[in-house]
Chain A
Amino acid sequence: MWALLIFFPIFMDVIKVFTDKQWNVSKPLERLALASYNSRGITESNWRTWFVDHPTYVDLLKYNQSGILWRYHGLLDNNRVFKVLGMILLGLYFGRKLMYRKL
């Protein structure tokens, strides 16, 4: 199971390459995140300076509301969710076998 999850990103990336990135599980989240950013006036060209014009804590809360979508798009896009679950299951196996005691 853990090996399947750890190597799953290769399978996902192969699909991305062969479909020219058209088939991507994180695409819907990316679209949602971009729509959310745009609705707040945050664009590709001004995201770095947006905080200069919007310096309050309430603005940060708004930025983070869109940011969470972008964050989870990123976590899915780079297959981190599968890698983390795979490594956790591998850790579970190491822990069961008490392998860390031999280090």
Chain B
Amino acid sequence: MPPSMALRMNHALPHNHRDRLLHVGREVQFPPDTRLFEEGGHADRFWIIRNGTAALDMHVPGRRPPVVETLGIGDLVGWSWLYEPYVWQLGAGAVTQLRAYEFDAVAVRLMCLDDPAFGQAVEHWVGRVLAHRLNAARARMVDLYGPYETKEPR
């Protein structure tokens, strides 16, 4: 399965675990510019985007928070809810009208504790999402769009 498809919850989780997770999710909508969470806040929920775009941003003193990444259909919004101290590392907001499944973090963590197989599957899925985003961040560090260095002398 292609890597980015494997990151989507409906591909990453086995059928039975996916159904259990969706059972505790609820459908929500956010108008454009709605804040989902703020950096440093308590990570008590997470979302899977059904339609629309969300932006992750970072607090920089004295500046409007710069957007560091946008997320679209099928993407997981939020991972800090799974790992202590359950504090958001970035902020997030809806760029467009956003439709998503929203999940209560405490409920899902209790499900993970109650059923180790379910917990392992969820942690594996979120871990792959994190690894993919780490790779994307590293790729951006090497300046993908910089000019070919040895092409032409100054």
Partners in one complex: no
